[in-house]
Amino acid sequence: MDTSTQYPGGMGIFITTILLAGILMTGPMILGAARLWIELPLLAAVSLLLVVQGLRLATRVSEGAKFQLDAIDLGVVLFALYAIVRWLTSSSAYFSRIEAMDVVAYAGIFLTCRHGMVNRQLCMFLLYLLVLLGVGETAFGYYLSNHLDWFPFGPAERLHDYYAPRWLGTYGCPNHYGYLLVMAMGAAMALGSFSKLPWPVRIILFYVSIMMMVGVMYSGSRGSWIALAASICALVIIGIRNGAMRWWVPVTGALMLTIVSVFLFSLSPVVRMRLADGVNLLSGDKLQTYVRVELARDALHIAHDNPLFGTGPGTFVFIHPRYQDSTFAFKAVLTHDDYLNCLDDYGIIGFGLAMFFVAAVTLKFFRPLEIDSRWQDRVLVATGFAAWIALLFHSLVDFNLHIPANAMLFFALTGLAVGRIKKEGDNARHWSTLSLTPLGRWLGWGVVVLSLLYGAEATRSAISDIIYEEASAHDENGTQADIAPTSQLIASTNQALAYDPDNAQALMYLGDLYRYQASRQSDIEGRISEGQKALNAYQKALRANSIDDTLLARMGMTYDVMRSYSEAFFCYQQAVTHQPYNGQFWYRLGNHYWERGMLPKAEMAYLQSLSCPHGGEGSAGAEQQLRGQPEMYGVPPPAPGANPLAAPSESDERPTLP
């Protein structure tokens, strides 16, 4: 990369550093920015960062600078553009839009850190902040594991209670907490190994590295343990190839660190528990029904059926239930494999673009680094390479690239690193470079305009989501009639939709509120009137996310309230056909049959619900209550394999029980 292509210093880089520090440090401290109420505001902050970069570009052009992108930059830009195209063609427009905005944010942070962070001291400032963040997260993980009755992000966020005694810091998930510590530990060890800081400071850095290793250990994340080993190996490689020391020095240091880590790990009851789980999994012939193996198998089936373009960004959570089988007892938001998730969501084209970027960056890391007195370059490259190699392995068993806080930090560290790798001859044109010089100032102003549009989209999405979540936070059942008037909640939800009419979550919630109101109407006219409002909201939600089968079930429940039983049956039939192992859908179908007086069919649906691996809550009690009804006396239990989906006829219906 030609230094002449980089942005100028001065106030622009200072503002850039402040914005980067705020964005990169905020996400990890608030649930990994994996909740929309923090993720979307962070994306709005990224838009401001990109506006600043556009202004810097326009200023730099006026000074006669030349701009060119290489293969790495082109890979980033092409994948971001492809993500936008897949959003515009996706069946889940709302959630695909959010993931496409995430991808643009990652691309913007990478390019900013690669080309815009020209001041070494400010780059090092970001690394120091990362080390402090890692130390703080380690301490918080320890504290929270000993105060399980404290819920720092509200009573709904209680995953640390579920995962105890594993540590998870402020993430809510030990796997992603573990990888954050791996990145922070890599930065601390790089500073201790490759810097020219005073030895007392470097000894402290090695000490805090050991402390963060303890945090990784107590996370109980086996993927993070693998990432930790990969990170250490990466630092050894950098020490041998590009360091200012003999080969035996980094090798000896790594061996000593390995001995210390093995000793510490052997003392941990969490490690012993997790290793025992792994041994039991492998020796007990349970591997085929292990959740990650099942997810991988299902993901390959999805990719087989959607090979070229995938199902669309952010759609796995809606598509996967249509593929899971009778042994999968969970609702999976993502695969535990970033590679398979990319293949499913973006198809072979998107996966190919991603792998092109991976190959280009990996090859770049293995180019010689010109060693001189600027030890900061060695530290930045070592930190970025450690994070890079660690994630390449960790992504095989987890999804850190779908956790905004970790993804932003990862791309920032990678950008800072590859921006420091230079070689004689970089100034010359090459087949893999594209000159942007002919664009002149239009390049910078174009970035400004596009960033403002991006910021407006992120801001309206954020405001809409925050209003919606505030309205829906009062009651987990979605009715909230005992906490706030339904009319008030409807008004708040409509206010959220005024900012973002395609907010699929708010539309679904609005439908739930109208359905609740319909169920409270004493006359059929009132039920039909309010029910139709619910159906209108659900239909708009379907347009925003046509692959969400739960909307079909909700529409069926609404038709039941309206006494439109034929339409209700059609909705339930579609839902259970799409997701045959969703116990909740079968339970709702059973209620539908019972309401129509079709008690034998209701019993079949309840029994089908009970045979599902998840979602059948309430079916056992309903089936027992149903068996106690006078009309069921003498009626034999359903035959095995009886089909509760057979279209009902008028002769099936009996008078509805009082």
Burial class (CB in 10 A: 0-12, 13-18, 19+), 385: buried
Pick the last residue of a domain from 537, 572, 587.
537
Same domain, 649 and 573: yes
80: phi then psi, degrees, rounded to nearest 5: -65, -45
Asked, for residue 494, whether it belongs to a domain, the answer is yes
Q: What are phi and psi of 582, to 5 degrees?
A: -95, 105
Residue indicated by tokens 């994630």: 391
Rounded to two decimals, the pTM is: 0.91
Is the pLDDT at 537 greater than 60, yes or no?
yes
- pLDDT of amino acid 8: 53
98 within domain boundaries: no
Distances from the Cα of 191 to the Cαs of 24, 187, 206, 248, 376, in angstroms?
A: 19, 6, 9, 19, 9
CA distances from 516 to 206, 473, 477, 485, 571 (A): 59, 17, 11, 12, 18
The CB density around residue 573, as the number of other CB atoms within 10 Å, is: 17
Q: How confident is the model at residue 653 (pLDDT cuts 50, 70, 90)?
A: low
Has residue 300 got a pLDDT over 50?
A: yes
Query: Which two structure tokens, joined as six digits, stand for 442?
Result: 């239009």
Structure tokens at 426: 């970089």
Taking the alpha carbons of 191, 192, 195, 201 in that order, is the dihedral positive or negative? positive
Identify whether residues 626 and 571 lie together within a single domain: yes
Identify the pLDDT of residue 655: 44
What angle is formed at CA 277 by the lines to CA 274 and CA 282, rounded to 5 degrees? 130
The answer to whether residues 215 and 141 touch, using CB atoms and an 8 Å cutoff, is: yes
pLDDT digit string (tens) for 323-348?
998 888 888 899 999 999 999 999 99
| Tokens matching residue 90 | 């996706």
Asked whether residue 494 falls in the same domain as residue 581, the answer is no
The C-alpha angle with vertex 46 and arms to 78 and 234, in degrees rounded to 5, equals 65
The pLDDT score that the predictor gives to residue 544 is 94
Number of domains in the chain: 2
487: how many CB neighbours lie within 10 A of its CB? 10
Do 587 and 633 lie in a common domain? yes
- In sequence order, what DSSP letters do the residues of 640-655 get, joined into one string? TT--TTSPP-GGG--P
What are the structure tokens assigned to 468, written together? 């919606």
**Is residue 568, in this structure, part of any structural domain at all?**
yes
Exposed/middle/buried for 190, CB within 10 Å: 0-12, 13-18, 19+?
Answer: buried
Q: What is the pLDDT of residues 413-429, one digit of tens each?
A: 999 999 988 754 455 55
Let me know whether 568 and 650 are in one domain.
yes
Whether the predicted pLDDT of 480 surpasses 50: no
What is the token pair recorded at 5? Answer: 């292509």
Residues 553 and 657 in one domain: yes
CATH number of the structural domain spanning residue 646? 1.25.40.10
pLDDT in tens, 99-145: 999 999 999 999 999 999 988 999 999 999 999 999 999 999 999 99
**Could you tell me the residue range of the domain that residue 628 belongs to?**
549-658
Residue 55 lies in a domain: no
Q: Is residue 170 part of a domain?
A: no
Asked, for residue 133, whether it belongs to a domain, the answer is no
561 and 606 inside one domain: yes
Tell me what pLDDT residue 314 has.
94
Mark whether 568 and 618 lie in a shared domain. Answer: yes
The percentage of residues in the chain with a pLDDT greater than 90, rounded to a whole number, is 64
481 assigned to some structural domain? yes
**Over residues 64-70, mean pLDDT:** 70
Torsion-angle region of 425 (φ positive above 0: left; ψ -120 to 50: alpha; else: beta)? left
Looking at the structure, do residues 578 and 480 belong to the same domain, yes or no?
Answer: no
SS (H, E, C) 443-509: HHHHHHHHHHHHHHHHHHHHHHHHHHHHHHCCCCCCCCCCCCCHHHHHHHHHHHHHHCCCCHHHHHH
For the CA atoms of 588, 592, 595, 599, the dihedral, rounded to the nearest 10 degrees, stands at -90
Write the DSSP symbol of residue 289.
G
| pLDDT 10s digits, 343-388 | 999 999 999 999 999 999 999 998 776 655 588 888 999 999 999 9
Are the C-beta atoms of 357 and 76 separated by less than 8 Å? yes
Q: Are residues 566 and 649 in the same domain?
A: yes
Specify whether 515 is located in the same domain as 610: no
Asked if residue 653 and residue 577 are part of one domain, the reply reads yes
Q: Does residue 210 fall inside a structural domain?
A: no
In whole angstroms, how far apart are CA 287 and each of 109, 225, 295, 343, 394? Answer: 39, 20, 12, 23, 20
pLDDT confidence of 4, banded at 50, 70, 90? very low
